[in-house]
Amino acid sequence: MEPFAFHPELFELRERVLEALADRGYEWLSHYGSVDLMHDLYGLEVCGIHDEDHVAPITQLLRALFPDWCYTRSYYKEAFTREPGWKVQIHRDPENFNDPWEHAG
């Protein structure tokens, strides 16, 4: 198991994302549910995006804000989850799935 990572500077970066979303007309609870921190991957995620048409523009916005962060993905969370809708993630560090092949050889 990986040790817990905590990066307090992500709180400031989250505020930048919230401001950038508002500047582009995206309103909290109307267009998305939250902007969450991803301490383990040094990243952020916009959760609960209601309209699939907003996924690509929000992804582009995040890439423009964090051009050095190479990893992005988006996916849909089902209605029975805590925050249904589309989720867009961007992070600096690669995911480590602790697959055995990474340690072989």
User: What number is the average pLDDT over the span 93-100?
Assistant: 74
pLDDT at 3 (0 to 100): 64
Q: Which CATH class is domain 9-96?
A: alpha beta
Residue 72: is its pLDDT beyond 70? yes
pTM: 0.85
The residue extents of the domains of the chain are 9-96
pLDDT at 103 (0 to 100): 46
Q: What is the DSSP string of 14-79?
A: HHHHHHHHHHTT--BTTTBSEEEEEGGGTEEEEEEE--GGGHHHHHHHHHHH-TT--EEEEEEE-T
